[in-house]
Amino acid sequence: MESTLRIGIACYPSVGGSGILATALGVELAQRGHEVHFVSYDRPVRLPVDSPGISFHPVLIHGYGIFGHADYTLPLAVKLAEVTRTHRLDILHAHYAVPHATAAVLAREFLPDGQRPRVVTTLHGTDTMLLGRDPAYKPVIRHTLVHSDAITTVSRFLREETLRLIEAGHEIEVVPNFYTPGTPSRNRRQVREELGVSEDEALLVHVSNLRPVKRIDLLLEVAARIRPRSSFKLLIVAGDDFVPFRNEVRRLQLEERIVVRENVTGVEDYFAAADLGLITSEYESFCLSILEAMTFACPSVSTAVGGIPEVIEDGVSGLLRPFGDADGLARAVESLIAEPSFRKRLGAAAQQRALDRFSAARIVPAYLDVYRQALEAGA
């Protein structure tokens, strides 16, 4: 029987792939008997209340006028050191280099040798692809990675980009995202009725935090080119305010085709009722929402960018098109709407691929192996 680990997790609490993955990992670790401590400025949106083996420690942020802007990294480092000291943590697992891993490395320096945890850094994309190119952040990221005890990325693509852009000073292990779906609270008919989707309309679903990289402008352009227009409705499950995109919806005359839901913490109801996903990102290191759809036998039409081709096998478990090819993406959607048997075949393959490659049973032990190796190397 493996020994119990005491693990601190630093992550973003909001809707987004890194925070959702970190939360799911913590829940799975606790279910396996490990002690898990989440540290963030707010409670993660998908963290269950009163889960055995899980504690949440809020970081208080003070906006001192002398700084001009509120600082988060230093209060986070202090809280991580405090939680580590109090609960004798073995591992600090930071999701994102800046600010989480940077704070974890700093927190370790606050502690005496016998109390210093191992720091595991998981890169999710932006820290490499955006901040890793910024001269103001690149040296900090490199320092953080060099002083981490282990580094993981969520795709081979992101691993190679990290090695190309940043001298990490370590081997980098690829540990993909995973997703364990909850049970939908409503059936397909109930959800579609609530959304105003008729039986002869296909329900397309897009789930994202609406950041610029998600290219909502391209998403709406693709929707405007789908023919016949009456054949679908597009549900956008938004992790941020959709108001900035309302004018574009009106310009493209999509008011009758677009349904928006904001502040949604669980996506199971919507994917269980959907016919296909639609992703138009300019860059993705993995794209967790595609995997979420796959677990419900819902195939996706997506841009072939970043790590997405590692998730979708084109023509087998979904359809991929080049970024910017609005016509190609629209024709791909049309083909799945027009051929339900083809869509069903892709969906079944997508669900099996999710189970075979991206399940908690496969991925959580991989993270535990990373923890053990970091502890053994430190010892």
Note the pLDDT tens digit of each residue in 227-249: 999 999 999 999 889 999 999 99
Give the Cα separation of 223 and 215 in Å (integer).
13
Q: Which CATH superfamily is domain 188-357 in?
A: Glycogen Phosphorylase B; (3.40.50.2000)
Q: Which of 228, 225, 223, 179 is nearest to 205 (CA)?
A: 223
Q: Which of 47, 50, 71 is nearest to 61 (CA)?
A: 71
Give the Cα separation of 78 and 228 in Å (integer).
57
φ and ψ at 58, to 5 degrees? -75, 145
HEC string of 262-285 equals ECCCCCHHHHHHCCEEEECCCCCC
pLDDT tens digits, one per residue of 323-372: 999 999 999 999 999 999 999 999 999 999 999 999 999 999 999 999 99
Q: Which two tokens stand for residue 186?
A: 């409503």
Give the Cα separation of 165 and 169 in Å (integer).
12
pLDDT at 1: 40
pLDDT at 128: 77
Q: What percent of the chain has pLDDT over 70?
A: 97
* Cβ neighbours of 190 (radius 10 Å): 13
SS3 241: coil
In Å, how far are 144, 252, 259, 287, 344 from 195, measured between CA atoms? 46, 20, 7, 24, 22
pLDDT at 62: 80
Q: What percent of the chain has pLDDT over 90?
A: 84
Instruction: Mark 104-135 as b/e (b = at least 16 C-beta within 10 Å).
Output: bbbbbeebeeeebbbbbbbbbbbbbbebbeee
pLDDT tens digits, one per residue of 252-269: 999 999 999 998 878 999
Mean pLDDT of 195-202: 96
Give the Cα separation of 30 and 33 in Å (integer).
5
Give the Cα separation of 67 and 89 in Å (integer).
31
188-357 matches 6-178+359-378 in CATH topology: yes
What average pLDDT does the chain have? 94
Mean pLDDT of 162-175: 88
Residue 68: pLDDT band with limits 50, 70, 90 = low
Give the Cα separation of 153 and 125 in Å (integer).
8
Among 3.40.50.300, 1.50.10.20, 3.40.50.2000, 1.10.510.10, name the CATH number for the domain at 6-178+359-378: 3.40.50.2000
For the chain, domain boundaries:
6-178+359-378, 188-357
